Amino acid sequence: MSPKAPITQDVMTIPRKLPEGKINLVGLTRDQLRDALIEHGTPEKQAKMRTGQIWQWIYQWGVRDFAEMTNLAKAYRAQLAETFVIEIPEVVTRQVSEDGTRKYLCRIAGGHEVEVVYIPEEDRGTLCISSQVGCTLTCSFCHTGTQKLVRNLTAAEIVGQVMMARDDLEEWPVPGAPKDETRLLSNIVLMGMGEPLYNFENVRDAMKIAMDPEGISLSRRRITLSTSGVVPEIARTAEEIGCLLAISFHATTNETRDVLVPINKRWNIEELLQALASYPKASNSERITFEYVMLDGVNDSDEDAHRLIDHIKRHNIPAKINLIPFNEWPGAPYKRSSNNRIRAFANIIYQAGYASPIRKTRGEDIMAACGQLKSATERARKSRKQIAAEAGLQS
Ligand code: SAH
Ligand code: SF4
């Protein structure tokens, strides 16, 4: 593994300041929840049971009001309400695309905004969530990359996006009703704004909550974390989260990847491939997704397709290659490859024995497609100097 440290360890998470200094229970791990209860008057002997009960109310039933927690004594409910709140990000706007894709703009502490996208499909529904406001990285084809990093999201704000979507989809079960196995929100992808591996602990805690069987209860195989290639955190992702991994690969030579995904200057293609090859969860049933954005005349030649296969084969990585037609945004310096080019590229990969689905563009009419996310309040474009300084790429 590379001895180099991640670029942005200094990024602070500023937790939400709550009304009257109350503590938000959302986003706490089970242990943290237990500690918080004990610290505020729950007898230690009862703490484990109360933690389980409150956890279920919050994450299984979607309850936000302590008064509704009917298996707790009335006086205890009142006591909880004095100290704690159950709070998630507030939806500011909600847009529904012609194809059913929903884009939410959510407000979090400090007046910042993040975008969350829900993509319904025939047999599943995927929620694309954000991990940061903006991004420190500056991938040249990504709209979010032109936005300054404002801050990391807290665990509450990350799992809160999932809870917010379940509210909107009206998907919380009703106590006593039979369990419905066909979920509207069945998958999560960490592919919204931000680099999840630069906000590791909060992303981990939030995803652990989403996976907890006594709550939202999504299988770890239904959660995919997408990273631009923060090599030192990749092994940790397998160990501490255990979800599926997607990697924003996008180029087959260091020369091109340095431009498209500048973190490549820190950890190059070879270092990245080595980390992926040893991703402990990698097996044929849990292939790593290589995301590859198709940019006209930049990374879409037959030679690129062959080199891509060669990289993956050389390291024996169980992989599928997800080709993403470039989504344009105002001022973008690239064009989308033609459909014929994308199909030819996909075919070379397929012939080599790898799945090569072409990602269907969804929600384009509401600017909800990959890489188009950027909140309206944060349109300031970074200066070149600032980009270089933030990324720590020029010494
Ligand atoms: N920061 C993480 C996750 C967010 S980006 C990462 O980079 O992986 C989610 C995916 O959308 C990435 O694969 C990213 O490369 C891709 N993407 C970004 N901008 C895009 C655009 N304009 N068109 C198509 N895909 C884009
Ligand atoms: Fe950040 Fe990912 Fe966009 Fe790169 S592609 S700028 S890492 S959000």
Confidence of residue 177 (pLDDT cuts 50, 70, 90): low
Point out which residues pair with 301 in neighbouring strands: none
Percent of residues, the chain, with pLDDT higher than 70: 84
HSE (CB half, 13 Å, CA atoms) of 296?
11
* Ligand 2: centre distance to CA 384 (Å): 16
244: left (phi over 0), alpha (psi -120 to 50) or beta: beta
Higher-confidence position of 32 and 20: 32
Confidence of residue 381 (pLDDT cuts 50, 70, 90): very low
Confidence of residue 257 (pLDDT cuts 50, 70, 90): very high
Q: What is the arithmetic mean of pLDDT over 316-345? A: 94
CA distance 209 to 129: 15
User: Is the C-alpha dihedral spanning 376, 382, 386, 391 positive or negative?
Assistant: positive
Higher-confidence position of 93 and 202: 202
Q: Which residues of 333-345 are buried (b: 16+ CB within 10 A; e: fewer)?
A: ebebbeeebbeeb
Confidence of residue 354 (pLDDT cuts 50, 70, 90): very high
Longest dimension (CA), the chain: 70
* Ligand 1: centre distance to CA 177 (Å): 39
pLDDT at 337: 97
Percent of residues, the chain, with pLDDT higher than 90: 71
pLDDT at 196: 97
Matching fold, domains 23-85 and 90-394: no
**Of the candidates 117, 118, 148, the residue with the CA atom closest to the CA atom of residue 135:** 148
One-letter amino acid at 291 equals: E
CA distance 135 to 11: 11
For ligand 1, say whether the CB of 334 is within 6 Å of any of its atoms. no
Q: What is the arithmetic mean of pLDDT over 348-352? A: 97
Contact 63, 25 (CB under 8 A): no
* Ligand 2: centre distance to CA 70 (Å): 44
**φ/ψ of residue 180, rounded to 5:** -95, 120
Q: Is 68 a catalytic residue?
A: no
For ligand 1, say whether the CB of 326 is within 6 Å of any of its atoms. yes
Q: What is the 3-state secondary structure (H, E, C) of 330-358?
A: CCCCCCECCHHHHHHHHHHHHHCCCCCCE
For ligand 1, say whether the CB of 25 is within 6 Å of any of its atoms. no
Which class would CATH give 23-85? mainly alpha
Q: What is the arithmetic mean of pLDDT over 261-273? A: 97
CA distance 364 to 196: 23
Q: What is the arithmetic mean of pLDDT over 121-136? A: 92
Which residue's C-alpha comes closest to atom 19 of ligand 1? 371
**pTM higher than 0.85, yes or no?**
yes
pLDDT per residue as tens digits for the range 40-78: 999 999 999 999 999 999 999 999 999 999 999 999 999
Q: Helices H, strands E: what count in the chain?
A: 11, 13
Q: What is the mean pLDDT of the chain?
A: 87
CA distance 120 to 50: 36
Which class would CATH give 90-394? alpha beta
Contact 196, 247 (CB under 8 A): no
pLDDT at 4: 38
Q: What is the arithmetic mean of pLDDT over 257-276? A: 97
Return the residue matching tokens 């690969």: 249
CA distance 165 to 213: 19
**Residue-range domain boundaries for the chain:** 23-85, 90-394
For ligand 2, say whether the CB of 113 is within 6 Å of any of its atoms. no
**Three-class secondary structure of residue 134 per DSSP:** coil
Q: What is the arithmetic mean of pLDDT over 313-322? A: 95
Q: Is the pLDDT of residue 14 over 60?
A: no
Q: Is the pLDDT of residue 129 over 70?
A: yes
The residue whose CB lies within 8 Å of the most ligand 2 atoms, and thus the one to mutate among 144, 247, 261, is 144
Q: Is 286 a catalytic residue?
A: no
Contact 60, 83 (CB under 8 A): no
Q: Is the pLDDT of residue 6 over 50?
A: no
**Three-class secondary structure of residue 188 per DSSP:** strand
**Of the candidates 112, 117, 213, the residue with the CA atom closest to the CA atom of residue 154:** 112
